[in-house]
Protein backbone atom coordinates (compact mmCIF):
# COMPACT_ATOMS: atom_id res chain seq x y z
CA UNK A 1 0.00 0.00 0.00
CA UNK A 2 1.54 3.28 -1.02
CA UNK A 3 0.35 6.28 0.89
CA UNK A 4 1.63 8.62 -1.81
CA UNK A 5 -1.00 7.35 -4.20
CA UNK A 6 -3.79 8.79 -2.17
CA UNK A 7 -4.89 12.29 -1.62
CA UNK A 8 -7.94 14.35 -0.91
CA UNK A 9 -8.64 14.37 -4.65
CA UNK A 10 -8.90 10.57 -4.66
CA UNK A 11 -11.30 10.78 -1.72
CA UNK A 12 -13.40 13.35 -3.60
CA UNK A 13 -13.39 11.26 -6.77
CA UNK A 14 -14.51 8.15 -4.93
CA UNK A 15 -17.24 10.08 -3.14
CA UNK A 16 -18.54 11.48 -6.41
CA UNK A 17 -18.59 8.02 -7.97
CA UNK A 18 -20.67 6.52 -5.20
CA UNK A 19 -22.96 9.53 -5.09
CA UNK A 20 -23.58 9.09 -8.82
CA UNK A 21 -24.27 5.41 -8.16
CA UNK A 22 -26.84 6.42 -5.54
CA UNK A 23 -28.76 8.37 -8.16
CA UNK A 24 -29.04 5.18 -10.24
CA UNK A 25 -29.92 2.46 -7.70
CA UNK A 26 -31.80 2.55 -4.41
CA UNK A 27 -30.46 -0.69 -2.92
CA UNK A 28 -27.11 -1.47 -1.32
CA UNK A 29 -24.36 -3.27 -3.21
CA UNK A 30 -21.21 -5.10 -2.15
CA UNK A 31 -18.06 -5.39 -4.24
CA UNK A 32 -15.14 -7.69 -3.44
CA UNK A 33 -11.53 -6.96 -4.40
CA UNK A 34 -10.49 -10.61 -4.89
CA UNK A 35 -7.50 -12.53 -3.67
CA UNK A 36 -4.23 -13.60 -5.17
CA UNK A 37 -3.59 -17.12 -6.42
CA UNK A 38 -0.59 -19.33 -5.78
CA UNK A 39 1.79 -19.76 -8.69
CA UNK A 40 3.24 -23.14 -7.74
CA UNK A 41 3.12 -23.13 -3.94
CA UNK A 42 1.33 -20.93 -1.40
CA UNK A 43 4.17 -18.51 -0.66
CA UNK A 44 4.89 -17.88 -4.36
CA UNK A 45 1.92 -15.94 -5.67
CA UNK A 46 0.85 -14.84 -9.12
CA UNK A 47 0.72 -11.06 -9.58
CA UNK A 48 -2.40 -9.71 -7.88
CA UNK A 49 -5.04 -7.77 -9.81
CA UNK A 50 -7.95 -6.34 -7.84
CA UNK A 51 -11.40 -6.49 -9.43
CA UNK A 52 -11.99 -3.45 -11.64
CA UNK A 53 -15.44 -2.72 -10.21
CA UNK A 54 -13.89 -2.67 -6.73
CA UNK A 55 -11.06 -0.42 -7.91
CA UNK A 56 -13.55 2.02 -9.40
CA UNK A 57 -15.18 2.64 -6.01
CA UNK A 58 -12.34 1.84 -3.59
CA UNK A 59 -9.42 3.34 -5.52
CA UNK A 60 -6.73 1.10 -4.07
CA UNK A 61 -5.77 -2.49 -5.02
CA UNK A 62 -6.55 -3.94 -1.60
CA UNK A 63 -6.35 -7.73 -1.22
CA UNK A 64 -9.26 -9.67 0.32
CA UNK A 65 -11.38 -6.63 0.96
CA UNK A 66 -14.93 -5.61 0.20
CA UNK A 67 -16.85 -2.35 0.05
CA UNK A 68 -20.53 -1.86 0.69
CA UNK A 69 -22.12 1.03 -1.16
CA UNK A 70 -25.45 2.52 -0.17
CA UNK A 71 -26.96 5.96 -0.60
CA UNK A 72 -23.57 7.52 -1.34
CA UNK A 73 -21.91 5.95 1.71
CA UNK A 74 -19.01 3.50 1.58
CA UNK A 75 -18.21 0.91 4.22
CA UNK A 76 -14.89 -0.88 4.03
CA UNK A 77 -14.60 -4.51 5.13
CA UNK A 78 -11.14 -5.96 5.57
CA UNK A 79 -9.05 -7.61 8.21
CA UNK A 80 -6.09 -5.98 9.83
CA UNK A 81 -2.66 -7.42 9.04
CA UNK A 82 -2.06 -10.52 11.19
CA UNK A 83 0.28 -10.14 14.13
CA UNK A 84 3.67 -11.37 12.95
CA UNK A 85 2.96 -10.05 9.48
CA UNK A 86 5.15 -7.02 10.13
CA UNK A 87 8.17 -9.32 10.49
CA UNK A 88 7.95 -10.37 6.85
CA UNK A 89 6.04 -7.59 5.13
CA UNK A 90 6.86 -4.53 7.24
CA UNK A 91 4.34 -2.31 8.92
CA UNK A 92 1.14 -2.24 6.86
CA UNK A 93 -1.59 0.36 7.24
CA UNK A 94 -4.45 -0.72 9.45
CA UNK A 95 -8.06 -1.00 8.29
CA UNK A 96 -8.76 2.36 9.90
CA UNK A 97 -5.87 4.02 8.12
CA UNK A 98 -6.96 2.63 4.77
CA UNK A 99 -10.54 3.71 5.47
CA UNK A 100 -9.20 7.22 5.95
CA UNK A 101 -7.14 7.08 2.74
CA UNK A 102 -10.20 6.26 0.65
CA UNK A 103 -12.71 8.34 2.59
CA UNK A 104 -14.76 5.39 3.82
CA UNK A 105 -17.68 6.19 6.12
CA UNK A 106 -17.06 3.12 8.25
CA UNK A 107 -14.63 0.21 8.49
CA UNK A 108 -15.26 -3.28 9.81
CA UNK A 109 -13.59 -6.71 9.85
CA UNK A 110 -14.48 -9.14 7.05
CA UNK A 111 -16.34 -11.39 9.47
CA UNK A 112 -19.00 -8.70 9.95
CA UNK A 113 -19.86 -8.59 6.28
CA UNK A 114 -22.47 -11.33 6.64
CA UNK A 115 -24.59 -8.95 8.72
CA UNK A 116 -24.74 -6.57 5.76
CA UNK A 117 -25.60 -8.71 2.73
CA UNK A 118 -29.38 -8.66 3.04
CA UNK A 119 -30.96 -6.90 0.10
CA UNK A 120 -27.60 -6.13 -1.44
CA UNK A 121 -26.55 -6.63 -5.04
CA UNK A 122 -23.13 -7.88 -6.07
CA UNK A 123 -20.98 -8.82 -9.07
CA UNK A 124 -18.91 -12.00 -9.25
CA UNK A 125 -15.15 -11.59 -8.95
CA UNK A 126 -12.97 -13.65 -11.34
CA UNK A 127 -11.02 -15.69 -8.80
CA UNK A 128 -12.57 -18.89 -7.51
CA UNK A 129 -11.58 -18.29 -3.89
CA UNK A 130 -13.53 -15.06 -3.83
CA UNK A 131 -16.62 -16.07 -5.79
CA UNK A 132 -16.90 -19.07 -3.51
CA UNK A 133 -16.96 -16.63 -0.56
CA UNK A 134 -19.51 -14.46 -2.35
CA UNK A 135 -21.70 -17.48 -3.12
CA UNK A 136 -21.59 -18.67 0.49
CA UNK A 137 -22.46 -15.27 1.88
CA UNK A 138 -25.31 -14.68 -0.56
CA UNK A 139 -26.44 -18.32 -0.35
CA UNK A 140 -26.63 -18.52 -4.16
CA UNK A 141 -24.24 -19.21 -6.99
CA UNK A 142 -22.36 -16.00 -7.79
CA UNK A 143 -20.24 -17.20 -10.68
CA UNK A 144 -18.27 -15.04 -13.11
CA UNK A 145 -19.63 -16.98 -16.08
CA UNK A 146 -23.26 -16.32 -15.07
CA UNK A 147 -25.05 -13.32 -16.52
CA UNK A 148 -26.23 -11.24 -13.52
CA UNK A 149 -29.99 -11.22 -12.77
CA UNK A 150 -32.45 -9.19 -10.70
CA UNK A 151 -30.86 -6.42 -8.66
CA UNK A 152 -27.43 -7.77 -9.60
CA UNK A 153 -28.28 -6.96 -13.21
CA UNK A 154 -29.62 -3.53 -12.26
CA UNK A 155 -26.42 -2.87 -10.33
CA UNK A 156 -24.26 -4.03 -13.25
CA UNK A 157 -26.12 -1.69 -15.57
CA UNK A 158 -25.66 1.22 -13.16
CA UNK A 159 -21.92 0.51 -12.96
CA UNK A 160 -21.78 0.41 -16.75
CA UNK A 161 -23.51 3.78 -16.93
CA UNK A 162 -20.83 5.19 -14.65
CA UNK A 163 -17.81 3.45 -16.11
CA UNK A 164 -18.73 4.04 -19.77
CA UNK A 165 -17.50 7.63 -19.52
CA UNK A 166 -14.43 8.65 -17.60
CA UNK A 167 -14.13 11.33 -14.93
CA UNK A 168 -11.09 13.59 -14.60
CA UNK A 169 -9.38 11.35 -12.11
CA UNK A 170 -9.71 8.37 -14.46
CA UNK A 171 -8.53 10.44 -17.41
CA UNK A 172 -5.40 11.48 -15.54
CA UNK A 173 -4.63 7.81 -14.97
CA UNK A 174 -5.48 6.84 -18.55
CA UNK A 175 -3.27 9.59 -19.96
CA UNK A 176 -0.39 8.40 -17.80
CA UNK A 177 -0.88 4.83 -19.00
CA UNK A 178 -0.89 6.15 -22.58
CA UNK A 179 2.29 8.16 -22.10
CA UNK A 180 4.22 5.25 -20.62
CA UNK A 181 2.93 3.00 -23.40
CA UNK A 182 4.16 5.44 -26.04
CA UNK A 183 7.56 5.51 -24.33
CA UNK A 184 7.62 1.71 -24.27
CA UNK A 185 6.83 1.47 -27.98
CA UNK A 186 9.58 3.94 -28.81
CA UNK A 187 12.03 1.91 -26.73
CA UNK A 188 10.93 -1.22 -28.59
CA UNK A 189 11.46 0.41 -31.95
CA UNK A 190 14.89 1.63 -30.88
CA UNK A 191 15.82 -1.87 -29.70
CA UNK A 192 14.64 -3.72 -32.80
CA UNK A 193 17.59 -3.33 -35.15
CA UNK A 194 20.05 -4.82 -32.68
CA UNK A 195 17.64 -7.49 -31.44
CA UNK A 196 17.87 -11.09 -32.65
CA UNK A 197 14.58 -12.44 -31.34
CA UNK A 198 11.16 -11.01 -30.60
CA UNK A 199 11.73 -11.48 -26.86
CA UNK A 200 14.44 -8.82 -26.86
CA UNK A 201 12.07 -6.19 -28.22
CA UNK A 202 9.41 -7.20 -25.73
CA UNK A 203 12.01 -6.95 -22.96
CA UNK A 204 13.05 -3.42 -23.95
CA UNK A 205 9.39 -2.37 -23.86
CA UNK A 206 8.40 -4.03 -20.62
CA UNK A 207 11.51 -2.56 -19.01
CA UNK A 208 9.97 0.89 -19.53
CA UNK A 209 6.66 -0.22 -18.05
CA UNK A 210 8.27 -1.89 -15.01
CA UNK A 211 10.56 1.11 -14.47
CA UNK A 212 7.42 3.25 -14.05
CA UNK A 213 6.16 0.84 -11.40
CA UNK A 214 3.44 -0.28 -13.76
CA UNK A 215 2.47 -3.61 -15.25
CA UNK A 216 1.36 -4.64 -18.72
CA UNK A 217 -2.42 -4.42 -19.02
CA UNK A 218 -2.46 -7.69 -21.02
CA UNK A 219 0.05 -10.23 -22.26
CA UNK A 220 2.22 -8.46 -24.79
CA UNK A 221 2.12 -9.42 -28.46
CA UNK A 222 5.50 -8.89 -30.15
CA UNK A 223 5.65 -11.04 -33.22
CA UNK A 224 6.87 -11.42 -36.79
CA UNK A 225 3.82 -13.63 -37.26
CA UNK A 226 1.15 -10.96 -37.00
CA UNK A 227 -1.20 -13.29 -38.85
CA UNK A 228 -1.57 -15.17 -35.55
CA UNK A 229 -3.89 -12.70 -33.84
CA UNK A 230 -3.30 -13.74 -30.23
CA UNK A 231 0.36 -14.64 -30.45
CA UNK A 232 2.03 -14.88 -27.08
CA UNK A 233 5.27 -16.50 -28.18
CA UNK A 234 8.44 -14.49 -28.46
CA UNK A 235 11.04 -16.94 -29.72
CA UNK A 236 11.10 -16.14 -33.45
CA UNK A 237 14.20 -14.67 -35.03
CA UNK A 238 13.88 -11.17 -36.44
CA UNK A 239 14.86 -11.35 -40.06
CA UNK A 240 15.39 -8.61 -42.56
CA UNK A 241 12.20 -8.41 -44.56
CA UNK A 242 9.99 -9.22 -41.56
CA UNK A 243 7.35 -6.92 -40.20
CA UNK A 244 7.12 -6.84 -36.42
CA UNK A 245 3.61 -6.46 -35.00
CA UNK A 246 3.79 -5.01 -31.49
CA UNK A 247 0.65 -4.80 -29.33
CA UNK A 248 1.70 -3.71 -25.84
CA UNK A 249 0.01 -1.57 -23.21
CA UNK A 250 0.79 -0.29 -19.72
CA UNK A 251 -1.52 -0.29 -16.72
CA UNK A 252 -1.14 2.15 -13.83
CA UNK A 253 -0.85 1.02 -10.22
CA UNK A 254 -4.52 1.90 -9.76
CA UNK A 255 -5.42 -0.34 -12.68
CA UNK A 256 -6.08 2.01 -15.62
CA UNK A 257 -5.01 0.61 -18.99
CA UNK A 258 -3.59 1.59 -22.35
CA UNK A 259 -3.62 -0.57 -25.48
CA UNK A 260 -1.46 0.36 -28.46
CA UNK A 261 -0.26 -1.47 -31.58
CA UNK A 262 2.34 -0.55 -34.13
CA UNK A 263 3.68 -2.65 -36.99
CA UNK A 264 7.04 -1.86 -38.51
CA UNK A 265 9.81 -3.32 -40.61
CA UNK A 266 12.60 -5.02 -38.67
CA UNK A 267 15.12 -3.53 -41.10
CA UNK A 268 13.79 0.01 -40.80
CA UNK A 269 12.49 -0.03 -44.38
CA UNK A 270 9.11 -1.25 -45.57
CA UNK A 271 9.16 -3.18 -48.84
CA UNK A 272 6.90 -1.62 -51.44
CA UNK A 273 4.24 -4.29 -50.87
CA UNK A 274 4.44 -3.80 -47.10
CA UNK A 275 4.18 -0.05 -47.47
CA UNK A 276 1.18 -0.38 -49.79
CA UNK A 277 -0.78 -2.49 -47.32
CA UNK A 278 0.44 -0.43 -44.36
CA UNK A 279 -0.99 2.67 -45.98
CA UNK A 280 -4.33 0.95 -46.53
CA UNK A 281 -4.54 0.07 -42.82
CA UNK A 282 -3.37 3.56 -41.87
CA UNK A 283 -6.04 5.12 -44.09
CA UNK A 284 -8.68 3.11 -42.23
CA UNK A 285 -7.15 4.12 -38.88
CA UNK A 286 -7.08 7.80 -39.77
CA UNK A 287 -10.55 7.80 -41.32
CA UNK A 288 -12.10 6.21 -38.23
CA UNK A 289 -10.35 8.53 -35.79
CA UNK A 290 -11.44 11.56 -37.81
CA UNK A 291 -15.04 10.38 -37.40
CA UNK A 292 -14.92 9.80 -33.65
CA UNK A 293 -17.50 12.26 -32.29
CA UNK A 294 -20.37 12.15 -29.80
CA UNK A 295 -23.44 10.53 -31.29
CA UNK A 296 -21.55 8.53 -33.91
CA UNK A 297 -22.36 4.81 -33.89
CA UNK A 298 -19.21 2.79 -33.15
CA UNK A 299 -20.40 0.08 -35.51
CA UNK A 300 -20.39 2.68 -38.28
CA UNK A 301 -16.72 3.28 -37.57
CA UNK A 302 -16.17 -0.44 -37.92
CA UNK A 303 -17.99 -0.47 -41.26
CA UNK A 304 -16.06 2.61 -42.35
CA UNK A 305 -12.78 0.80 -41.63
CA UNK A 306 -14.05 -2.22 -43.56
CA UNK A 307 -14.90 -0.04 -46.53
CA UNK A 308 -11.61 1.85 -46.51
CA UNK A 309 -9.71 -1.44 -46.32
CA UNK A 310 -11.81 -3.03 -49.06
CA UNK A 311 -11.34 0.02 -51.24
CA UNK A 312 -7.58 0.02 -50.67
CA UNK A 313 -7.38 -3.67 -51.51
CA UNK A 314 -9.37 -3.05 -54.69
CA UNK A 315 -6.88 -0.32 -55.64
CA UNK A 316 -4.04 -2.78 -55.08
CA UNK A 317 -5.79 -5.39 -57.21
CA UNK A 318 -6.22 -7.86 -54.34
CA UNK A 319 -10.00 -7.52 -54.17
CA UNK A 320 -12.23 -7.04 -57.18
CA UNK A 321 -15.46 -5.05 -57.22
CA UNK A 322 -16.99 -2.11 -55.41
CA UNK A 323 -15.89 -1.52 -51.81
CA UNK A 324 -19.41 -1.12 -50.39
CA UNK A 325 -20.57 -4.28 -52.12
CA UNK A 326 -17.53 -6.17 -50.88
CA UNK A 327 -18.24 -5.12 -47.29
CA UNK A 328 -21.88 -6.10 -47.77
CA UNK A 329 -20.74 -9.69 -48.43
CA UNK A 330 -18.03 -9.54 -45.70
CA UNK A 331 -15.17 -9.91 -48.17
CA UNK A 332 -13.11 -7.46 -46.05
CA UNK A 333 -13.23 -9.99 -43.22
CA UNK A 334 -10.97 -12.33 -45.18
CA UNK A 335 -8.20 -9.88 -44.28
CA UNK A 336 -9.70 -7.93 -41.35
CA UNK A 337 -11.55 -10.56 -39.33
CA UNK A 338 -11.80 -8.70 -36.01
CA UNK A 339 -13.64 -5.61 -34.83
CA UNK A 340 -12.35 -2.04 -35.09
CA UNK A 341 -11.84 -1.91 -31.32
CA UNK A 342 -13.41 -1.82 -27.88
CA UNK A 343 -13.95 0.16 -24.71
CA UNK A 344 -10.86 0.97 -22.66
CA UNK A 345 -10.66 1.88 -19.00
CA UNK A 346 -9.87 -0.16 -15.91
CA UNK A 347 -9.93 -3.22 -18.16
CA UNK A 348 -8.25 -3.32 -21.52
CA UNK A 349 -11.59 -4.59 -22.86
CA UNK A 350 -13.48 -2.49 -20.38
CA UNK A 351 -16.12 -4.36 -18.35
CA UNK A 352 -15.86 -7.46 -20.54
CA UNK A 353 -16.27 -9.50 -17.33
CA UNK A 354 -19.98 -8.65 -17.85
CA UNK A 355 -20.02 -10.17 -21.34
CA UNK A 356 -21.58 -7.86 -23.93
CA UNK A 357 -23.60 -5.94 -21.32
CA UNK A 358 -21.20 -3.00 -21.44
CA UNK A 359 -20.13 -3.27 -25.08
CA UNK A 360 -23.61 -3.54 -26.59
CA UNK A 361 -26.34 -0.95 -26.20
CA UNK A 362 -29.41 -2.40 -24.53
CA UNK A 363 -31.51 -4.31 -27.06
CA UNK A 364 -28.59 -4.97 -29.41
CA UNK A 365 -26.96 -8.38 -29.82
CA UNK A 366 -23.93 -9.63 -31.66
CA UNK A 367 -24.37 -10.21 -35.36
CA UNK A 368 -23.46 -13.64 -36.67
CA UNK A 369 -22.11 -12.12 -39.87
CA UNK A 370 -18.50 -13.15 -40.61
CA UNK A 371 -17.59 -9.46 -40.83
CA UNK A 372 -19.37 -8.29 -37.66
CA UNK A 373 -19.34 -11.17 -35.21
CA UNK A 374 -16.12 -10.06 -33.50
CA UNK A 375 -17.18 -6.46 -32.93
CA UNK A 376 -16.91 -5.89 -29.16
CA UNK A 377 -18.57 -2.48 -29.01
CA UNK A 378 -21.87 -1.40 -30.54
CA UNK A 379 -23.11 1.82 -28.99
CA UNK A 380 -23.37 5.47 -29.92
CA UNK A 381 -20.29 7.36 -28.73
CA UNK A 382 -20.60 9.72 -25.76
CA UNK A 383 -18.18 12.37 -24.48
CA UNK A 384 -15.81 10.79 -21.97
CA UNK A 385 -15.78 7.35 -23.59
CA UNK A 386 -12.36 5.95 -24.39
CA UNK A 387 -12.18 3.49 -27.27
CA UNK A 388 -9.47 1.84 -29.29
CA UNK A 389 -9.29 2.22 -33.06
CA UNK A 390 -7.33 -0.72 -34.41
CA UNK A 391 -7.83 -1.74 -38.02
CA UNK A 392 -5.64 -4.48 -39.45
CA UNK A 393 -4.76 -6.62 -42.43
CA UNK A 394 -3.77 -10.26 -41.93
CA UNK A 395 -3.19 -13.29 -44.07
CA UNK A 396 -4.55 -15.84 -41.62
CA UNK A 397 -3.98 -19.36 -43.01
CA UNK A 398 -7.07 -20.68 -41.21
CA UNK A 399 -9.16 -18.19 -43.18
CA UNK A 400 -7.41 -17.98 -46.53
CA UNK A 401 -6.97 -21.76 -46.80
CA UNK A 402 -10.54 -22.51 -45.75
CA UNK A 403 -12.11 -24.23 -48.74
CA UNK A 404 -15.63 -22.94 -48.02
CA UNK A 405 -14.43 -19.34 -47.73
CA UNK A 406 -12.19 -19.70 -50.79
CA UNK A 407 -15.06 -20.92 -52.88
CA UNK A 408 -17.49 -18.30 -51.51
CA UNK A 409 -15.09 -15.46 -52.29
CA UNK A 410 -13.52 -17.08 -55.36
CA UNK A 411 -14.55 -14.29 -57.69
CA UNK A 412 -13.75 -11.30 -55.51
CA UNK A 413 -10.16 -12.17 -54.59
CA UNK A 414 -7.33 -12.07 -57.09
CA UNK A 415 -5.33 -14.88 -55.50
CA UNK A 416 -2.41 -14.46 -57.88
CA UNK A 417 -2.12 -10.78 -57.11
CA UNK A 418 -2.43 -11.56 -53.40
CA UNK A 419 0.52 -13.95 -53.64
CA UNK A 420 2.73 -10.96 -54.48
CA UNK A 421 2.02 -9.64 -50.95
CA UNK A 422 3.43 -12.70 -49.21
CA UNK A 423 5.75 -10.51 -47.10
CA UNK A 424 2.72 -8.94 -45.40
CA UNK A 425 1.57 -11.51 -42.87
CA UNK A 426 -0.07 -9.14 -40.42
CA UNK A 427 -0.37 -5.39 -39.84
CA UNK A 428 -2.35 -3.60 -37.15
CA UNK A 429 -2.26 0.05 -36.11
CA UNK A 430 -4.02 0.86 -32.84
CA UNK A 431 -4.52 4.02 -30.82
CA UNK A 432 -6.55 5.03 -27.77
CA UNK A 433 -9.14 7.67 -28.64
CA UNK A 434 -11.14 9.72 -26.18
CA UNK A 435 -14.53 11.00 -27.28
CA UNK A 436 -14.76 14.66 -26.30
CA UNK A 437 -17.69 17.04 -26.44
CA UNK A 438 -16.16 18.66 -29.53
CA UNK A 439 -14.88 15.52 -31.26
CA UNK A 440 -11.95 13.44 -30.11
CA UNK A 441 -8.50 13.38 -28.62
CA UNK A 442 -5.96 10.63 -29.35
CA UNK A 443 -4.30 9.87 -26.00
CA UNK A 444 -1.44 8.07 -27.72
CA UNK A 445 -0.86 10.63 -30.48
CA UNK A 446 2.80 11.07 -29.53
CA UNK A 447 3.59 7.74 -31.16
CA UNK A 448 3.82 8.32 -34.92
CA UNK A 449 1.83 6.25 -37.38
CA UNK A 450 3.09 7.54 -40.74
CA UNK A 451 5.17 4.88 -42.49
CA UNK A 452 8.20 7.14 -42.93
CA UNK A 453 8.09 8.35 -39.30
CA UNK A 454 7.91 4.79 -38.03
CA UNK A 455 10.87 3.85 -40.25
CA UNK A 456 12.82 6.76 -38.80
CA UNK A 457 12.19 5.60 -35.24
CA UNK A 458 13.41 2.09 -36.10
CA UNK A 459 16.48 3.33 -37.97
CA UNK A 460 17.64 5.63 -35.20
CA UNK A 461 18.38 2.85 -32.80
CA UNK A 462 19.43 3.33 -29.24
Distance CA(257)–CA(249), nearest Å, equals 7
Least Cα distance to 59 among 180, 216, 212, 170 occurs for 170
Least Cα distance to 289 among 176, 369, 190, 391 occurs for 391
Could you tell me which stretch among 48-56, 322-330, 405-413, 415-423 binds its own copies (CB under 8 A)?
48-56
- Between residues 167 and 200, which has the closer beta carbon with respect to its own copies? 200
Smallest distance from its own copies to CB 204, Å: 7
Distance CA(321)–CA(94), nearest Å, equals 68
- Between residues 390 and 455, which has the closer beta carbon with respect to its own copies? 390
Smallest distance from its own copies to CB 126, Å: 4
Residue 246 vs residues 143, 234, 460: alpha-carbon distances, Å:
34, 11, 18
Count of positions (residues) in the chain:
462
DSSP category for residue 147: P
In the set 211, 237, 290, 462, which binds its own copies (CB under 8 A)? Answer: 211
In the set 302, 349, 379, 428, which binds its own copies (CB under 8 A)? Answer: 349
Asked whether position 88 contacts its own copies by CB under 8 A, the answer is yes
In the set 66, 69, 189, 229, which binds its own copies (CB under 8 A)? Answer: 229
Strand order in the sheet with 431-436: 386-389, 431-436, 439-442
Distance CA(93)–CA(101), nearest Å, equals 10
Residue 161 vs residues 10, 164, 361, 382: alpha-carbon distances, Å:
20, 6, 11, 11
Asked whether position 159 contacts its own copies by CB under 8 A, the answer is no
Question: Does residue 259 contact residue 218 with C-beta atoms inside 8 Å?
Answer: yes
Asked whether position 378 contacts its own copies by CB under 8 A, the answer is no
Q: Which residues contact 43 (CB under 8 A, 6 or more apart)?
A: none
Smallest distance from its own copies to CB 309, Å: 18
The whole-angstrom distance between residue 205's C-alpha and the CA centroid of its chain comes to: 18
- Between residues 39 and 149, which has the closer beta carbon with respect to its own copies? 39
- Between residues 131 and 298, which has the closer beta carbon with respect to its own copies? 131
In the set 70, 127, 152, 276, which binds its own copies (CB under 8 A)? Answer: 127
Asked whether position 52 contacts its own copies by CB under 8 A, the answer is yes
Asked whether position 407 contacts its own copies by CB under 8 A, the answer is no
Asked whether position 89 contacts its own copies by CB under 8 A, the answer is yes
Q: Give the binding site for its own copies (CB under 8 A).
A: 2, 4, 37-47, 49, 51-52, 84, 86-91, 126-129, 132, 144-145, 197, 199-200, 202-204, 206-213, 217-219, 225, 227-231, 233-235, 337, 346-349, 351-353, 396-399
Amino acid sequence: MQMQNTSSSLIDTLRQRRQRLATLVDFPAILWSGSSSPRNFPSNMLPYRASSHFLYFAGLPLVNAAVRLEAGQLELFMDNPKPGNALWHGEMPTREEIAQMIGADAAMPMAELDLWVEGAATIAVQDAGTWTQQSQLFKSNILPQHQPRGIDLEFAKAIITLRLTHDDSALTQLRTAGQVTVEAHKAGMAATKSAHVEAEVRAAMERVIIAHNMTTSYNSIVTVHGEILHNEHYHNLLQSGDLLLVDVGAETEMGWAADVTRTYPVSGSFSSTQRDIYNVVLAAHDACIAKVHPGVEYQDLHLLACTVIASGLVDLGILQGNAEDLVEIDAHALFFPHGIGHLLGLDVHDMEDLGDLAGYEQGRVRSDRFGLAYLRLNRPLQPGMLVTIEPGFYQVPAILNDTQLRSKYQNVVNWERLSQFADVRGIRIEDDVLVTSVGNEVLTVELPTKASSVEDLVRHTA
